[in-house]
Amino acid sequence: MSRRSQVLRALIGAQGTSVSGEDLAAEFGVSRVSISKHVAALRDMGYVIEAAPHTGYSLVSSPELLLPESVEALVRHELWARFEGGPSTVSTNDDAKRLARSGAPQGTVVVVGAQSGGRGRLGREWVSPSGGVYLSIVLRPGISPARCSALPLVVALGVARGLESLGCHPLLKWPNDVWLGTGAGATDTSGKLSGVLLEMQSEIDRVEWIVAGVGVNVSSSAGRTPGAAYVDDQVPGCAPAAVAAAVLDGIAGCFGQFVSDGFGTLAHEYISRSMLEGRQVTVRELDGAVRASGRVQGVDADGRLLLDDGSGMLTVSTGDVTLRDAGA
């Protein structure tokens, strides 16, 4: 973690009370002048930090814009090694792929507060106004491409875990969409909350890198996109940086479990959060052609959707799912 983010983390941890420059300098093994330079840099970024002669520094407020430093100061998991980004970019997936190609380590994060060319699954656009969280991570799991089929579900489950830790009721839509559950019934939803886009580079038997991009709708104050749900529908005033950090830590936990034990150990948790479980669905190809229809009966250890079509069990690896009894 950068020294500046460490200073910020200490100020956030103090929850508005003062932290002395001397204590910070001793903790990080640097001079007090160096601490005051980091504080000045944080102020330039929009953090309001008060300084009192005998008590030290206290954080009064954070910038509204989502900045990588704010997220780095809040994440807990050791997987997250390096933070890049800024107020906006074209697509964090494009930035993360560039970094991955030039050797960025596993755990590199690109996080921004707006995108001008956000990309979704199946060649769709991901509308990315400010007020949302847009991040991409570099993973190097060192496994064969054949073992990666469940990874989109692993990342979506991590996003759901993170959002749940903030007080939301997320539900999963196979393979890697996160919807906002109403809390009323196991499958009732109010709109799509988050989407996941995975891209990878691999040799025939070894994955070189995977970039997982996550978009989360956080605040609807700038207007609502049709069909979308927002974190602040259930957790009013939730800061984008807190959402980004919670999502990252959720993903890190699931990813660690996946790498050590495979998806089998996560499948039960995935199914228990699925808004499709037991419902009649249609799975379509990219061109709209129907690939399969049936009642959802969970997912297998490779992350494939299991469908009972009345005459037997089908397994589906890819496609776009629609509920036959609703507009999801």
Give the residues lining the site for ligand BTN (CB under 6 A): 91-93, 115, 118-121, 124, 126, 134-136, 177, 195-197, 213-215
Strand order in the sheet with 305-308: 313-316, 305-308, 290-299, 280-284, 320-323
Structural contact between residues 328 and 322, judged by C-beta atoms closer than 8 angstroms: yes
Least gap, CB of 212 to ligand BTN (angstroms): 9
Q: How many CB atoms lie within 10 A of CB 67?
A: 26
Least gap, CB of 204 to ligand BTN (angstroms): 27
Structural contact between residues 117 and 294, judged by C-beta atoms closer than 8 angstroms: no
Least gap, CB of 180 to ligand BTN (angstroms): 14
CA angle 90/76/301 to nearest 5° reads 80
Question: For residues 35 and 281, which CB has a smaller minimum distance to ligand BTN in the complex?
Answer: 281
Q: Which two structure tokens, joined as six digits, stand for 306?
A: 């299991």
Question: For residues 130 and 136, which CB has a smaller minimum distance to ligand BTN in the complex?
Answer: 136
Least gap, CB of 282 to ligand BTN (angstroms): 18
Question: For residues 5 and 89, which CB has a smaller minimum distance to ligand BTN in the complex?
Answer: 89
CA dihedral 68, 149, 175, 152 (to 10 degrees): -10
Question: For residues 93 and 234, which CB has a smaller minimum distance to ligand BTN in the complex?
Answer: 93
How far apart, in whole angstroms, are the C-alpha atoms of residue 277 and residue 299?
A: 9
Least gap, CB of 136 to ligand BTN (angstroms): 5
Strand intervals (E) in 203-312: 207-216, 280-284, 290-299, 305-308
β pairing state of 108-112 and 82-86 = parallel
Least gap, CB of 118 to ligand BTN (angstroms): 4
Which residue reads 């009642």 in tokens? 295
Least gap, CB of 211 to ligand BTN (angstroms): 9
How far apart, in whole angstroms, are the C-alpha atoms of residue 197 and residue 326?
A: 24
Residues sharing a CB contact under 8 Å with residue 229, sequence separation 6 or more, in sequence order: 179, 180, 189, 190, 191, 192, 193, 217
Question: For residues 85 and 181, which CB has a smaller minimum distance to ligand BTN in the complex?
Answer: 85
Question: For residues 179 and 258, which CB has a smaller minimum distance to ligand BTN in the complex?
Answer: 179
Q: Which residue's Cβ lies closest to ligand BTN? A: 195
What is the identity of the amino acid at 218?
V
End-to-end CA distance of the chain: 40
Question: For residues 11 and 135, which CB has a smaller minimum distance to ligand BTN in the complex?
Answer: 135
What is the identity of the amino acid at 320?
D
Least gap, CB of 224 to ligand BTN (angstroms): 17
Question: For residues 176 and 234, which CB has a smaller minimum distance to ligand BTN in the complex?
Answer: 176
